[in-house]
Structure 1
Amino acid sequence: MKNIFFILLFFSATAFTQVNLSKGLKAYYPFTGNANDASGNKNNPSFNNATLTKDRFGNANSAYHFNGINNYIQIPNSPSLNFANQITLAVWVRPTGFYYDICHANSIISKGTADYYPGNYALRYDDALFTDGKGCSGDLLKDSLHLNFRGTGTTQKTYTPYIKKNQWYSVIYTNDGTTARLYVDCELKYTVNFKETFTNKDDLFFGRTNDSFFPFWTNADIDDIRIYDRAVNEKEIVALCKEALKKDTIKPITLTKEIPLEKRNNQLVKQIAVEHDSISVTLYDNGDIDGDSVTLIYNDKIITTHQRLSDKPITFTLKVEPGQSRNELVMYAENLGSIPPNTALMIIYDGKKRYELNISSTKNSNGVVAFTLKE
């Protein structure tokens, strides 16, 4: 019966919000066994003494641990790391300790010497909001219970909940040229007017700053750093920050009677060679949430039906057979929603490796994704 899976870039005469996590991506560090840049811009480290560790999914050698003493990653300055007036910094971080020197900041991402000079950009966590900016008064950190994440443009008011050690957080900072925003675990924590450029001659650092007097060493596990030359939109923020939230995995259903499905053409969207025989697939509506409903078919077997697409993840696991076996995932549109066609954003995890697809299905054709297992 059909072939593969779905997600879509949906075109319409009316503009709408799309999810495209590759657009404007200037540096991407998935930390899959190394610290190389996966964006294609070759922003690879010149120095790295951090230690590979488990990521938020429990995968070994898929994140880096920084010891808060002397671990850091340094990436040479390049034109692709300098931006006009827009930026997004996105990261997954698990604080495992706090910096106790005369300034109490912990630097996750930093580009530019000296704190917040024009053209610099940074993402960190500290007690500056709780102490009304007195974290650099010269006293060592005494209170580690009231730390917040902050970006280059920041509010002056503290927010809750405060950071807890040994917990993974999604932290996303955006600036659209006028307004800076910070999101923690999908929740908007602050909005502040902040007009700035993000261009300087300094190297990019993870785990510390490029300031020997205020190095702001970070004691944490860090993963999936993304740097964009634009402010990602709200749907893209959801796609980034919900990846590790606990999801209900749908299980193949046992049908008591046959579900009548129209015979339609299968349109192959992509064929992917995977390294693991078990892969995770997550599905969202792409664009406006307009009532799209789908049936999913894997190797001619219906695995779920009447699934309404939304900004909430639909997640399931697929077994990929070796050799010449068919491994085809089909998205069958039960309707076209209020804005045709039926569209979806699919995120696939093959171990640590991540794929994003945009797929559509119509009353005449099914979106299909095929998988082969690497030998």
Structure 2
Amino acid sequence: MISIEIPLPEIKIVADPNNLPVNEKYYNSVRVVIEATNSEDQIYFSKDGSDPIGENRISYEKGKEIEIIGGKSSETVIARAYRPSIDKWSSPSELKISFDVSHPEFTPKGNTYNTDKTIQISSKSNKAKCYYTQDNSDPSEYSTYYSSGIEITGDGTNITIKSMCIWGDLKSNTVSEEYTIDYQSIDLWNGIVAYYPFNGNVKDESGVNNNDGVSYNLTSVSDRFGNIGRSYNFIGNSYISVNDSESLKSLNNEITISSWVKSLGNYYLLAKTSQLSYQYRVYNLCGALTTESKYIHLGYYTNTYQGINLYKDLCRNNEWVHIAITHDNYGTKFYLNGQLEGDNSTKFNFTSDDNPLEIGRDKHGATEYSNSTLDEIRIYNRSLSEKEISALYSFNDSPPTPGNNGIISTSNISTNSMTLTWTKASDSNSTGEYLTPQNKLQYKVFQSTSNNISSLDTIDSNGTVLKNWTTGLQSLDVTGLNSGTSYYFNVLVRDEHGNRGIYSTVSYSITDTIPPLVSNKSITITNVTSDSLVINWSQATDNSTPQNMLRYYVYTHINSTFTGSGGHNFGDPLYNTSFKLMNNYFSAEKSYYVKVIVKDLSNNTSEYNVTPFVIGIEDKNDGSIYSYSKNIYFLKCSQGQIFINGVCDGSPNYFYYCKTFSNECNSNINWLLNGQGDSSVYKTCSDLNSIIYLGKNNWRVPNYNELSYINVDLYNNANSLFSNQIYASTYWSSNAMSNGAYGLAIAVKIAGGSSSTDKRDNYYVRCVRDP
């Protein structure tokens, strides 16, 4: 009888480049596959180390990956092959897999930083949980569970973080990192007097002193990073002149001057000098034959010379180098590429003068020019520390990253103002070692009425500066805006090396819904003639539209209740506050109404009071009204009223047409004539003559003919020009008829029409006079 042996199945770990064993131990779960030699064989396996021939066996699906979770020191997979045709099992195959938990890793590593930091803890074991302490105690599963970044903030903070990770039954070693936050160790804006980054111009970008320069014969070239047009060649007679200022003049005891230089030989960096004297100057002598004759110079000269020459071969022809020279009460130091290269304890004070600062030229004695390319020139009124000089040299060539994807928000919007708000930026780093802390990043805000300030190349030339470089700025109130105008705003951020980042342009157009303000809504009538008059009104104001751009529209109508822009309009808008009306649009001595509407640039409107007027009838503003066509003066007030402050004050008196008891009603006076007889009405007007009322002594009662024209229709001048204290149900008196002692008198109604009435009735009286 032949015995057949069933081949053992092969258990294989699936390769994973992200989960390679370390010291033959895996940091994460693994996957295995099981392969049989004979396709007829069925495979059974277990993951708990038991024999899969028993009840715990698991049938294996060909090609399927089996996950071995881990979290313990090891797990064993056992597999057997079973061939049904002969009912026989293979011997067991066994694979033991060892696991371990990775120790925690800190990002960033422990160090001294000049800005707040967020510490991330991670483990290469994906399913591990990490715990940490900040009190220098050893961590355990009972310590703080790490779920998000740990904030390390505050100047002078010194913290040690310890952490360990747990995966199932496995525990990692404890790892610790120490962090120190030192805000004040470096401040490259403190004491800056002038800063020339040469971003396509020779402006002082210090943000504090406006020591802008004027260029002569300069050629823009690429800077040391290859950015086109970001530095200048000072070859031949090229230089920059900066007018004297108090900030430049004040550099007496302490000074720092730094620059990036690419020299072709001797170079003259800068000098505040004339031919006879200089306050300070810096130049480097490179053309000497011996190293001992090569030096860099800092000093001043009035009647005597004071200064130092630091003798050392500091020349790097046609190679970008960073130079810095400091002077204070301890002497002078010179730095090359961030390293101290010379030190002299000689002490002296600069003497102030009124000379301009010149970059690239020295005109003390014979005028001499630089022979170099210059960039990033800085002048300070203090002596920078070695750490600060090193930070200047350790140039970070990456701009700050605006916060919140550079979004600028608008709020507190009114018709002429708004608030801009943005999230603070953070500095980034690609080549340098020094990062500017968030609290020392500076911001500059621009405005434009065109969408042309969205890039670093255009914002300086196209934008209007709303706020110059300001440390820590995160919002700005913008005022003086005009409604209906589209505005664009943007923000620059820069680090202490002058690298600039830019936010995203935000635009806004303010809609004005506030109408013009009319403080005095009265309309006055002046310059009345027989065929014209002038209407006048006060000037309105507006929250956004300038007064000289407010538009006035004049409308007239025969009805005092007309609204809006109804009625007749006189064409184009007016920009003054008066308008002459002619009678070619109106009938003489007929009542009309005028209204003025004022509009701002957003077409918001306000209205002046509707005001009556009559062509050919003029209110003399002394209590009388003149009719050009009748050539007669009417009293504005009835008898018993007093004309004061432009109105008729008091109640009118009643008068009889005639005294019946004296038969004066039978005065035989024809009512069509001007004679007045001896009635009390007549005496009422004649009494005015005795007091020379309004300087005249020819006052009388009007006859019917003189009154009749005022009641042509409902809209008559009686309603418009005369006192509204005389009601429409009453009358103006005229002459009494002659027939009969108790006959009729003629009266004219204010509301129009005439009436014959008993002579003995009483009515109000208005007197008239001839010119």
Q: Name the TM tier (shorter chain).
A: 0.5 to 0.7
Structure 1 residue 241: Cα displacement: 1.5
- Aligned residue among 318, 322, 334 for 1:170: 322
Residues 1:200 and 1:373: Cα distance change in structure 2 (over 3 Å): same
Residues 1:354 and 1:219: Cα distance change in structure 2 (over 3 Å): farther
Partners of 2:268 and 2:495 in 1: how far apart?
29
Tell me if 1:23 matches 2:190. yes
Residues 1:178 and 1:157: Cα distance change in structure 2 (over 3 Å): closer
- Aligned residue among 297, 304, 312 for 1:150: 297
Q: Are 1:66 and 1:221, in contact at CA under 8 Å, matched by a contact in 2?
A: yes
Partners of 1:7 and 1:272 in 2: how far apart?
13
Partners of 1:96 and 1:215 in 2: how far apart?
18
Partners of 1:75 and 1:225 in 2: how far apart?
13
Higher helix share: 2
Q: Which has the larger radius of gyration?
A: 2
- Aligned residue among 282, 285, 294 for 1:123: 282
Of stretches 150-159 and 166-175 in structure 1, the one that deviates more from structure 2 is: 150-159
Cα offsets for 1:144-179 (capped at 9, x unmatched): xx744333376556323x413210111101012331
Partners of 2:393 and 2:351 in 1: how far apart?
23
Aligned amino acid, residue 189 of structure 1: E
Structure 1 residue 130: Cα displacement: 6.9
Aligned amino acid, residue 56 of structure 1: R
1:9-158 equivalences under 5 Å are 11-12=155-156, 18-40=185-207, 41-67=209-235, 69-82=236-249, 83-98=251-266, 106-114=267-275, 117=277, 120-127=279-286, 147-152=294-299, 155=308, 158=311
Cα offsets for 1:249-294 (capped at 9, x unmatched): xxxxxxxxxxxxxxxxxxxx953499xxx9858554899xxxxxxx
Partner of 2:395: 243
Q: Are 1:130 and 1:158, in contact at CA under 8 Å, matched by a contact in 2?
A: no
Partner of 2:386: 234
Partner of 1:181: 333
Residues 1:273 and 1:200: Cα distance change in structure 2 (over 3 Å): same
Partners of 1:42 and 1:78 in 2: how far apart?
9
Cα offsets for 1:306-365 (capped at 9, x unmatched): xxxxxxxxxxxxxxxxxxxxxxxxxxxxxxxxxxxxxxxxxxxxxx984149xxxxxxxx
- Alignment partner of 1:39: what SS? coil
Tell me if 1:217 matches 2:369. yes
* Unmatched 5+ stretches in structure 2: 1-112, 117-152, 158-181, 300-305, 399-421, 438-491, 507-771
Aligned amino acid, residue 367 of structure 2: P
Partners of 1:132 and 1:50 in 2: how far apart?
31
Across the aligned residues of Structure 1 and Structure 2, the Cα RMSD in angstroms comes to 4.1
Partners of 1:10 and 1:216 in 2: how far apart?
50
Partners of 1:186 and 1:90 in 2: how far apart?
10
Partners of 2:183 and 2:424 in 1: how far apart?
28
Tell me if 1:355 matches 2:508. no
Structure 1 residue 11: Cα displacement: 3.4
Cα offsets for 1:220-263 (capped at 9, x unmatched): 10000000000011111011112179x9xxxxxxxxxxxxxxxx
Partners of 1:221 and 1:46 in 2: how far apart?
17
Residues 1:51 and 1:6: Cα distance change in structure 2 (over 3 Å): same
Q: Are 2:436 and 2:496, in contact at CA under 8 Å, matched by a contact in 1?
A: no
Residues 1:113 and 1:244: Cα distance change in structure 2 (over 3 Å): farther
- Alignment partner of 1:73: what SS? strand
- Alignment partner of 2:247: what SS? helix
Partners of 1:88 and 1:6 in 2: how far apart?
22
Cα offsets for 1:14-64 (capped at 9, x unmatched): x99621010110100000010100012110113432111111111111001
Tell me if 1:195 matches 2:331. no
Partner of 1:159: 312
Partners of 2:333 and 2:315 in 1: how far apart?
18
Partners of 2:387 and 2:426 in 1: how far apart?
28
1:318-333 equivalences under 5 Å are none
Partner of 2:535: none
Tell me if 1:271 matches 2:424. yes
Partners of 1:178 and 1:6 in 2: how far apart?
27
What's the % identity of the aligned pairs? 27
Aligned amino acid, residue 108 of structure 1: L
- Alignment partner of 1:120: what SS? strand
Q: Are 2:394 and 2:432, in contact at CA under 8 Å, matched by a contact in 1?
A: no
Q: Are 2:263 and 2:371, in contact at CA under 8 Å, matched by a contact in 1?
A: yes
Partners of 2:385 and 2:332 in 1: how far apart?
13
- Alignment partner of 1:107: what SS? strand
| Higher normalized contact order (CA 8 Å, seq sep 6+, divided by chain length) | 1
Aligned amino acid, residue 121 of structure 1: Y
Partners of 2:155 and 2:426 in 1: how far apart?
28
Residues 1:354 and 1:286: Cα distance change in structure 2 (over 3 Å): closer
